[in-house]
Amino acid sequence: MDFFSDYTMTIEGAGVSSAKTFDAVNPATEAVIAAVPDADRAIFDRAVASAKRAFPAWSEKPWRARQDLVSKLGDLIEQNAEDFIRLLTMEQGKARAGAEWEIGGSVAWCREIAKQALEPDMVENTDGRTVETSRTPLGVVGGITPWNFPLLLAVWKVAPALVAGNTIVLKPSPFTPLCTLKFGELTRGVLPAGVLNVISGGNELGEWMTRCEDIRKISFTGSTATGRKIMASASGNLKRITLELGGNDPAIVMPDVDVQATAKELIWAAFQNSAQFCVAAKRLYIHEDIYDALAEALVEYARTVKVGDGLQQGVDLGPIQNAMQFEKLKDLLADSKKNGHRFLLGGQIEDGPGYFVPVTIIDNPPEDSRVVTEEAFGPVLPLLKFRDTEDVIRRANDTEYGLAASIWSADADRARNIAQRIEAGTVWINEIHTFSPHVAFGGHKQSGIGIENSLHGLAEYTNSKTIVTNRMAPVS
């Protein structure tokens, strides 16, 4: 199997090409690296029909049999890790360390989700009468994944969907389809035909998925704007949805932290994966007592971070993944310059190939400025000064988003009190970006609906069924 050519979709356990293709582009060079099959309506219908045919036999397999096969998917990724890492860097742009983190995480998620099961709940068991609630699979699931972590977030959907007994039609982002297509190719002959179908295409393909009567659930990771459209479209047949959407995550730094040590943590909290991360620290609130010292330490450390082609040795952060997002960031930076914001670092985009944006830090812009209120999804970080706790909690919560947040303090109890008042699905204290297949992840407000990971997330791929049995025959 060649990871770097011959990209085909996977339907009913076999490779499928299409008459129409689109280009996959390396964001570090802007060079076309592959022709990607573009599914038409007939191909989409074939994929859904394949998944629908495979569902009865797959759903009837014992949990243990499904778990074993999902665990084998992790083995397949691990056996091809080096090729996945290189291909991921070529199509997404991330540097070696980030690619290793994503591919290693994909292996771990397959293996750990494969250990999960939803046991029946015996609510009542008395003489002659039982009440038992169990979980049953939904049917065909549609998975739609983003371009920032293309393989890992595909696994976040595939693994629980399959373990729970569903079949799946998976659509990767058209910006980063290659690793997902190769993942589908690897599963041929391992999974029963039709259990996992991988098809590639643009926005029209996503719209077909959300409207399709035979798809019982959509699991989507992406922007809040697109999530709203999916929710509206899925309402036509009350399709189940899990939406993991945007965020504008605050980080709050109290005056008792070790400034130098915390600065290093905060740089990666904000800029990991070139800040193309739904849970990146996007607004950094710093207590006024340490604001100047921490700002200086952040700039000093950020100067050591190397931005470049992720395939090159020594590079820490790669480019922005696509031209559309690159242009949005250029516009955001232009707005800050027009409004006279003070740049402590970066802000100047150099001419040349590649969608490169330097690590950029902005000094205490107004709270209502675009660089504060919008999700940049790129390496642009506003530093914001605060004086008292009540004020910073109010400001942190003053957003339509509620995905995640972090609190940094030597007083963990005080930090926890603050965390309890932050409107977000995950709040980290003195760490960030730690995830687990066994820990629930989901957003509040406009950051999403539903849960991924943990038994809570697994349950989202099921219906509940209660069976009440009265063993006492009616008196004749």
Q: Tens of pLDDT along 147-181? A: 999 999 999 999 999 999 999 999 999 999 999 99
Q: What's the whole-number mean pLDDT along residues 34-43?
A: 98
pLDDT bucket at 199, cuts 50 / 70 / 90: very high
- DSSP, collapsed to helix, strand or coil, labels residue 301 as helix
Q: What is the pLDDT of residues 283-323, one digit of tens each?
A: 999 999 999 999 999 999 999 999 999 999 999 999 999 99
DSSP per position, 98-109: HHHHHHHHHHHH
Write down the pLDDT at residue 476. 59
Q: Cα(16)–Cα(263) distance, rounded to whole angstroms?
A: 49
| 473 pLDDT higher than 90 | no
The answer to whether the CB of 189 falls within 8 A of the CB of 215 is no
Does an H or E element contain 252, and which? strand 249-253
Q: Cα(372)–Cα(377) distance, rounded to whole angstroms?
A: 12
**Which amino acid is it at 74?**
G
Beta strands in 403-475 (DSSP E): 404-408, 426-429, 444-445, 448-449, 462-470
110, 179, 212, 278: the catalytic one is 278
Q: What's the whole-number mean pLDDT along residues 228-237?
A: 94
| 410 pLDDT higher than 70 | yes
pLDDT bucket at 451, cuts 50 / 70 / 90: very high
Write down the pLDDT at residue 334. 98
pLDDT bucket at 474, cuts 50 / 70 / 90: confident
pLDDT bucket at 475, cuts 50 / 70 / 90: low
Q: What is the pLDDT of residues 54-98, one digit of tens each?
A: 999 999 999 999 999 999 999 999 999 999 999 999 999 999 999
Q: Cα(318)–Cα(24) distance, rounded to whole angstroms?
A: 17
185 sits in the region (left: phi over 0; alpha: psi -120 to 50; else beta) called alpha
**Token output for 420:** 């309890």
Q: Cα(183)–Cα(194) distance, rounded to whole angstroms?
A: 14
pLDDT bucket at 472, cuts 50 / 70 / 90: confident
* Residue 300 is among the residues annotated as catalytic for this protein: no
Q: Cα(348)–Cα(334) distance, rounded to whole angstroms?
A: 10
Q: Report phi then psi at 373, rounded to 5.
A: -85, -25
Neighbours of 305 (CB within 10 A): 15
| 247 pLDDT higher than 70 | yes
| 452 pLDDT higher than 70 | yes
Q: What's the whole-number mean pLDDT along residues 403-426?
A: 98
Q: Cα(175)–Cα(415) distance, rounded to whole angstroms?
A: 39
Give the CA distances from residue 352 to residues 30, 325, 471, in Å, rounded to whole numbers and listed in that order: 10, 17, 77
DSSP per position, 264-296: HHHHHHHHGGGG--TTSEEEEEEETTTHHHHHH
Q: Cα(168)–Cα(140) distance, rounded to whole angstroms?
A: 5
Q: What's the whole-number mean pLDDT along residues 26-51?
A: 98
The answer to whether the CB of 428 falls within 8 A of the CB of 265 is no
* Residue 278 is among the residues annotated as catalytic for this protein: yes
Per the prediction, the chain carries an average pLDDT of 97
